Every structure is written in structure tokens, then in C-alpha cells.
Amino acid sequence: MTPIRDLTPLDKLDQARALLDAGEPTLTDLASAIGISASHLQRRFTARFGISPAEYLAQRKLGTLKSALREGSDVSAALYDAGYGSPSRVYEGGAARLGMTPARYRAGGAGEQIRWSLARTALGTALVATTERGVCMVELGEDAAALEAKLRAEFPQAQLERVDAGRDEFLAPRLRAVADTLEGQAHAVSVDLLGTAFQKKVWDALMKIPAGQTRSYAQVAEAIGAPGSARAVARACAGNRVAVVVPCHRVVRGDGSLGGYRWGLPLKEKLLQRERAA
């Protein structure tokens, strides 16, 4: 790559992102092209965009793959067009990020078996959905039809099976664990989280925040090694599909105010008060 001269530090980071959008440069090549050391580029890029250059490239490739699969492209062609080089490459990390194989994701979850049920809890009606790997969705609300619609929109072609509470040996214990968690009891719940690498880092960090404590968006960003990415952390919290089990309610603004919450600020406040009291 030909080095790029006379750019401000921010312009250089924007140029680095443009180069990642256009190809697959190594960190060394990227640093050489914009005229700073690889270690400085790694730190500054992560601070500016919330993810490292390698993670940015991985997300771009995964996004390209997902778009092509959703549009009905042939799986092999979509894999190569997205830059994976060979079908095996996507299974090294891509399939885990998709939460299912590329072929099944392409078909809107076709072939994926998702069992789900509704439960009445102290927080209202909860829809709990599981794959064979764990809980993939916990949605809250009072409109059962709207909750089901959200699940079907996420996996339009999956084999969705509604199960009456207690009638399924796989779903039943997970439903009980989620219900207990929503009631405020501590339970280990296996999850199957579908998101980008950055989102998963955030969600993993949230699950390490002890009940009764909070962290600011900036503190979470620091914890995952991405200082300066507080806004990206907030977006990841908003994208959480697994209510309470992935405790995005424990993240607040730096001044201590609640910030946002997908399921409404009154519920966020209620959850925090309940945990502090316990």
C-alpha cells in the first residue's frame, strides 16, 4: 500500500476504516499505509470505533455474508464474495456468530428448531425461546401476539414450536430458570446469543456485573478494552434480546441517571431497586 500523507489523526483513522471496507489489509500494512505504528493504530482505532481493526474487518465480512444470504445468494458464492476464502473459514468463527450455519441463516433459520413458551412473571408476560444451544430470546410485554411476532420476525423460516409450560424436558428447565431470574432469584441460564463480536463482548461483560451494582457505559467500554466506545456500548445494550438474563439494566449513564432501556425506564428502575434491596 502507498503511504497516505498530510492527514490529521482522525482523518487517518477514517482512512484506515475505508481501507478495511475496500479489502483485507493486515494491521502492519494498514499502519504503514496511514503512516503510524501498528500499536498506535490498534489503540486509536479501538478507542475511536469501539472495536479493533481485525474485529471491524470480521464484522464487515459477516455483515456482507448475512446480507447476501438473506437476499437468497448461493451459500458457497456468498462465502467467497464475503471474503472467507473457503467454506471452512466461516465455521471457525462465523457460524458461532450467526448462531446457526450459514445455510440455515440464509433461509431465515430454516432447519433450526426453536422451542418457545409464554410465562406469567412478576415482570409481566415473558416469551422464552431456546435453540439446542440455549436461550436465544427473552422478550417482555403484555401482548402475547406481539411477542410471538417479534420471534417470527427474527427467525421467519425456523421451525418454531410453542410448548405448554412444563411439557418439554429441554425447554421446561430453561423456562423455570428464566422465570426465576425474572423473579429476582440468581440462576445460571445457558444462552445462545446472536450478535456481532463487539455486541457479544458487551453482553459477556454485562453478565459479569454483580446484582445490586451498576456500571456506566464508559466503564463497560473500559472493561472490554475499548475506551471511548460508550455510545457503541449503549447500542449493544439496546440490541440485547435476552431481557434480564443479560442484565443491560445494570448499565447507566456516567452521572448515575438511568439512560435508556429497551423494555422501558420504569422497569429498569424497578429491577435496580429490587436488586439493591436484595
| CATH number of residue 87's parent domain | 1.10.10.60
CA distance 161 to 191: 18
Residues linked to residue 115 through DSSP beta bridges, in sequence order? 130, 161
Which of 100, 122, 139 terminates a domain? The answer is: 100
DSSP 268: H
| In the chain, alpha helices (H) | 9-22, 27-34, 38-49, 53-70, 75-81, 87-89, 95-98, 102-106, 144-154, 171-182, 197-206, 217-223, 230-238, 265-277
**Is 189 part of a structural domain of the chain?**
no
Beta-strand pair 135-141/124-130: antiparallel
Domain limits for position 229: 197-277
The verdict on whether 248 is a catalytic residue reads yes
Residue 132 near residue 120 (C-beta atoms within 8 A): no
Residues 117 and 96 in one domain: no
Q: Select from 148, 182, 216 the last residue of a domain.
A: 182
pTM over 0.75: no
Please indicate, yes or no, whether residues 84 and 19 belong to a single structural domain of this protein: yes
Domain-embedded: residue 226:
yes
DSSP states of 56-68: HHHHHHHHHHHHH
**Dihedral, 206, 210, 213, 215 alpha carbons, nearest 10:** -30
Q: In this structure, what C-alpha cell is assigned to residue 92?
A: 471457525
Catalytic choice (19, 248, 251, 271): 248
Q: What is the CATH number of the domain that holds 247?
A: 1.10.10.10
If asked whether residues 20 and 80 sit together in one domain, one would say yes
User: In terms of domains, do 77 and 155 share one?
Assistant: no
Same domain, 162 and 217: no
Tell me, yes or no, whether 191 lies in a domain.
no
Residues 177 and 229 in one domain: no
Q: Is residue 244 part of a domain?
A: yes
Residues 19 and 96 in one domain: yes
Contact 217, 41 (CB under 8 A): no
Both 268 and 202 in one domain: the answer is yes
- Please name which of 109, 112, 70, 62 lies closest in space to residue 90, comparing C-alpha atoms: 62
90, 41: one domain: yes
Asked whether residue 30 is domain-assigned, the answer is yes
91, 122: one domain = no
Same domain, 178 and 201: no
Is 108 domain-assigned? no
CATH of the domain at 157: 3.30.160.70
Spatial contact of 21 and 60, defined as CB atoms under 8 Å apart = yes
Domain edge (last residue) among 182, 214, 240: 182
Within-domain flag for 152: yes
- Tell me what pLDDT residue 75 has: 53
Residue 268 lies in a domain: yes
For 120, 125, 244, 258, the CA distances from 269, given in Å and listed in that order, are 20, 18, 12, 7
Q: Are residues 69 and 126 in the same domain?
A: no
How many domains are there within the chain?
3
- From first to last of the 278 residues of the chain, give the pLDDT tens digit: 444 444 566 678 888 888 887 777 888 888 888 888 998 888 888 877 777 888 777 777 766 666 666 555 555 565 555 555 544 444 444 444 445 455 555 555 566 788 999 988 889 899 999 888 789 899 999 899 999 999 998 778 788 989 875 567 778 888 888 988 998 887 778 888 877 778 888 998 999 999 999 999 999 999 988 888 898 999 899 989 899 999 999 999 999 999 989 999 999 999 999 999 97
